[in-house]
Amino acid sequence: MGAPDVDVTASTEWWRGLNQAKATTRPASEAEPLIAEHLRWYPKADTALLARAYAVADHLHREQKRKSGEPFIIHPLAVATILAELGLDTATLVAALLHDTVEDTPFSLAHLAAEFGTEVGVMVDGVTKVDRSMYGSAAAGETFRKMVVAARDDLRVLLIKLADRVHNLRTLQFQPPHKRVKIARGTRELLIPLAERLGVYKLKRELEDLCFEYLETEEFERTRECAALVRGRARPETEALTVALRDSLAAFRVKADVEVRPRHLASVFHSGAPLAALDPQATVRYLVVVRGEERNAYLALGAVHGRWQPVPAKFRDFIASPKYNLYRALHTTVLTDTGHRVQIIICDNRAQQVSEYGIIAEIHERTGRDGRLAAGGTTDPEWLTRLLRWQEGASAEELLEGVRTDLADSITVLTADGVVLMLPEGSTPVDVAYALDNEIGDRFSAATVNGRLALPSAQVREGDTVQIITKAEPGPDRAWLESVRTGKARVAIGAWHRTRDRERAEVAGRRRMADSMGGDRSLIEAESSGDMISVARRAGYATLEEYYVAMGYGQIDPADAPARPAPAPPREGTDTEQA
């Protein structure tokens, strides 16, 4: 939806209504649940600011409707409420209420920043789409680029985007079928991995189930029915296992809370277990939250393994080796007395908050009772820093393709020098080389994986040690593009070859021009006198190099050059004159 054609300066009524909205201090009844939820987290928050932001958004969107026919304001209000339920600060909720105003109304970013502050303006600008009329088919990629660049200054931009997509998916039934599929697929490819990278599993799980419902509707319904059925049948066993788990912890004098968590439907379906023979314990997880120090988690693990037989291949220690998104916990799967496999997750209270909220847990800790986030900003996650390094040189298409792979499931590999790298699954030694440095990637010659020579296209695996062998001169193979996985490698290889192709085209174009003018001497004289740069500019090129490149690519015929310099006349005594 584009901004309506409104003459803002001439619309006295529009400005009067806006000024009245800006003067609001008491919340409208529709905004009261949002404010109540925010006060639950932050008792001294500025409720007048939230009321004013809602009133302004309500006024600006007053003539707009959603696909459902409902007033548009329900969308920004829902987005702000989702974020309030996660415990976000006041400025984030204000930005969420106003996040569509710059894109869909005459309210400018300058107006918004002046009224609500630069902090809110940065967040709103970060989630505002680029002008499709300017970028055309590249608009989606450029919008994503704009968002991740804004996230460098404020990660809350990404949280607003995730909440925005959650509400859009909740109401996706009002969109036509082809658009439902497009939105759900885009969410699965980009935003769900983004939620995982931020560690916001509370949103990730809902997004996964909503996409599952629209992309695999029949499987979703069957999974929901089967999961509900087996959970009901297994309730007595689940309750007995919960009691046994508590008794085992008490025997080890471990103070902990035990909770049974249903697995969300997408997780159940994609676990690989056939629905017809679904293990009831595969539909739940047992969460043990230890009290006191984090090391008590290992005491709890001893209690669990002392009671039931562990499955060795299913044990993961994310405390000793935390995940990239701050997640810290012990994961173990044990065999019960009835032969069922049961997954148990053990962590402390803070890690449990992080496992639900990810980066938001850090924001909680830095937000006062007044709902204001302390200055300083959150630390950029490693994956975002890596993405920001290579995205500038990528086209919109390369950016989206690279992000899809870079945000996919990751593995950790080591270099021979002990450098730890996080790469997408399926990465190759060439990806490793470019992850270290573009120059190393350009000069890649060979690699060993765990001491054995490996092909450039070979896939590295979790925990592999990779040694890169380089050559003196750079020269990446274009064929590597068929096997590399990281956006950084793909963009760097493409850029190197585009530069070489351009250099060759410039030489070829200059050669064609020289031939058409009777030789190099004539061209050199025309270049020295400035005649050639005039020719290039009349043809619409800013530099002579760009003109030659276009000619080298066959986009210009030397004979069609505008006001082309005449070939130099032959000098006296030359073979031409004597002939």
Segment-wise mean pLDDT, segments of 10 residues, the chain, 579 residues? 44 68 76 95 94 93 91 96 96 96 90 93 90 70 86 90 96 93 92 90 95 94 90 89 95 94 90 72 91 94 95 90 83 90 93 88 90 74 78 80 78 87 91 94 95 95 93 94 92 91 91 86 86 88 90 84 61 43
Q: Would you call 85 exposed, middle or buried from its count of C-beta atoms within 10 A (0-12, 13-18, 19+)?
A: middle
> What stretches of 378-479 show up as alpha helix (H) in DSSP?
382-391, 396-406, 429-436, 438-442
pLDDT at 362: 87
* Packing angle of the helix pair 382-391, 396-406 (nearest 10 deg): 160
The rounded Cα 477 to chain-centroid distance in angstroms is 29
Cα 521 from Cα 3, distance rounded (Å): 58
| Residues in Cβ contact with 389 at an 8 Å cutoff, skipping those fewer than 6 apart | 488
CA distances from 515 to 98, 169, 556, 570 (A): 62, 62, 14, 15
Q: Bridge-partner residues for 348, per DSSP? A: 290
Residue 88 contacts residue 155 (beta carbons within 8 Å): no
DSSP 3-state of 343: strand
* Packing angle of the helix pair 487-516, 520-529 (nearest 10 deg): 110
pLDDT at 247: 95
Residue 380 contacts residue 431 (beta carbons within 8 Å): no
Q: Which residues are identified as catalytic?
A: 103-104
Residue 227 contacts residue 275 (beta carbons within 8 Å): no
User: Of 264, 128, 287, 284, which is closest to residue 203 (Cα–Cα)?
Assistant: 264
Q: Which helix (H) or strand (E) holds 307?
A: helix 296-307
User: Of 67, 59, 33, 194, which is closest to residue 127 (Cα–Cα)?
Assistant: 194
pLDDT at 461: 92
pLDDT at 21: 72
Q: Give the type of residue at 95.
A: A
Sheet with 452-454, strands from edge to edge, namely: 420-424, 410-415, 465-470, 444-449, 452-454
Query: Considering the entire predicted model, what is its pTM?
Result: 0.81
What is the C-alpha radius of gyration for the chain, rounded to an integer number of angstroms?
Answer: 31
**Domains of the chain as residue ranges with CATH:** 12-200 (1.10.3210.10), 229-357 (3.30.460.10), 382-494 (3.10.20.30), 503-578 (no CATH)
Q: Would you call 342 exposed, middle or buried from its count of C-beta atoms within 10 A (0-12, 13-18, 19+)?
A: buried
Cα 357 from Cα 353, distance rounded (Å): 6
User: Of 34, 164, 22, 171, which is closest to residue 100 (Cα–Cα)?
Assistant: 164
Cα dihedral 567→572→574→578 (10° resolution)? 110
Q: Bridge-partner residues for 468, per DSSP? A: 447
Cα 465 from Cα 483, distance rounded (Å): 19
Cα 331 from Cα 166, distance rounded (Å): 28
Q: Bridge-partner residues for 469, per DSSP? A: 446
Q: Which helix (H) or strand (E) holds 412?
A: strand 410-415
